[in-house]
Structure 1
């Protein structure tokens, strides 16, 4: 099952990308370069000196006119040289040289901006408290990954809607991929980690429930993470119907011997005008209490970010001010990972 549609993400960590498509590279703009979200890879290898976790999306805006012409020799004169002392440098095209110098300058700027952006991002994540507090949720404890450590593998099915599909961040920066990396780092040699993200943009809880049995059969996970409620909260689904759907999904997973964690809806500024949205969040959190299922309280985390100020709130949101940004996904991944690992904190194999 691990060979189909999966790609290695570091030692012991794999992410299944069957259900996803990448966001096109040309959709990443220069703002992403400033925030360090567009690493210098692939077509931007001319920026190889700046590949240490910084952005080089600015290169994509460089015109390549003349760069592909056949190189010709040009005259180059060192500063202070007499006119007759000019040296010939073979195989260098003047326009190509200008292009490369400009690209190098952009790379240097992106490197500095990316480094500064990374520091700022970490500061924001610390201010918001991502990965600490509010991760135990109102529910009970998951018996994982202790069981997973027994057989040396930890398989996680993450089902949900656009957040799980990586809208606003791209698949590789979405919370399933990031939490997979974090889990792999923490578990080390104790267990290999496989994360299977199965997100469908715009899907409601009943849609996820309709495919849940098939997803469980296909992936045979140790843990189900269900990101649920956002699309139901902005539709005409009744609270009773939503609660019944989520309850059935929890029971289905438990009958299969799978642990369950819920992720409640995200907070966004316009939610203040929709009292029903808060009712859905409260119902999911309450259901966690009643069923003993931990809930990652994403809504509360993001709401507290808004209280801290616009910088913190805006950092967690994508440009549409609804979906999460890469930083928002990072925050959610830290909270989710902390919840999972808190259940195994006393396991001697992790100490």
Structure 2
């Protein structure tokens, strides 16, 4: 992987969440463990040589509330419920055992990648329906906040057979989040911004030992986790006590949508 990593921007228009995280904020104000469940596929589960984003997020949040916003009575646990190769239609049936049983105050649900990358194995419309069904189940829970996470912008998602479907999936996920009035963390747009505006190469964005050219590199995952920490903290009403709130103003424009079929 090239060593000349670019400086990355974190435009507020991409990173910031639209809705407050009231349940998560209440849990942070209490005592005892604060539980987050990360549901998803392989980019949640992690690879051998990449520290998965849930582990990084747990570390970053614990550090923030230990060093910068000291809350000695809480402990943040991020439970990783990622399973490689799955999609929403396989994940929703796991909600009872892998989400609700742990009584989290926040659920991070990463969806959409395998419906594109493994499109012969999954029915696109069924996956979209299951995303909507899963969001309703999560949103109807009185003590859970939800953040939906869309696909990663990597080489494999730009192949000719995948590019158009990937844009379609990103749009469908955005619409599902809007309809359910839940937060969307725009991983696709953020990584695309880094590639288009900040000149981060796909060699830098993709794990170097991933023959599929699908999964994020450790460097990429680290910065996505930092952006997600910033988004979560701001949505709980955090103020700038440290460098944890990294989003920039909108003077760093978001990359425009790609024409259909182009990356």
TM-score by length of 2: 0.77
Aligned partners of 1:264 and 1:296 also within 8 Å? yes
Residue 142 of structure 1: which of 21, 44, 48 is its match? 21
May I ask how many residue pairs the two structures share in their alignment? 227
Q: Aligned-residue CA RMSD in angstroms? A: 2.7
Aligned partner of 1:303 in structure 2 is 192
Change (3 A) 1:310 1:149: closer
Residue 268 of structure 1: which of 154, 172, 195 is its match? 154
Distance 2:77 2:11 in 1: 21
SS of residue in 1 equivalent to 2:47: coil
Aligned partner of 1:277 in structure 2 is 166
Residue 227 of structure 2: which of 335, 338, 347 is its match? 335
Aligned partner of 1:195 in structure 2 is 78
Structure 1 residue 210, shift from structure 2 partner: 1.2
Change (3 A) 1:129 1:168: farther
Q: Structure 1: which 4+ aligned runs deviate by more than 3 Å?
A: 130-133, 236-240, 308-313, 346-350
Residue 206 of structure 1: which of 81, 89, 114 is its match? 89
Distance 2:153 2:75 in 1: 33
SS of residue in 2 equivalent to 1:156: strand
Change (3 A) 1:328 1:213: same
Structure 1 residue 175, shift from structure 2 partner: 0.6
Structure 1 residue 149, shift from structure 2 partner: 2.1
Structure 1 residue 240, shift from structure 2 partner: 3.2
Unaligned runs of 5+ in 2: 243-263
Structure 1 residue 315, shift from structure 2 partner: 1.6
Q: Greater helix share, 1 or 2?
A: 1
Aligned partner of 1:252 in structure 2 is 137
Q: For 1:26-47, what per-residue CA distance to the aligned partner results, in whole angstroms no more than 9, with x for missing partners?
A: xxxxx7xxx9xxxxxxxxxxxx
Distance 1:131 1:200 in 2: 30
Higher relative contact order (CA 8 A, sep 6+): 2
Bigger CA drift: 280-289 or 237-246? 237-246
Aligned partners of 1:128 and 1:301 also within 8 Å? no
Unaligned runs of 5+ in 1: 1-30, 36-116
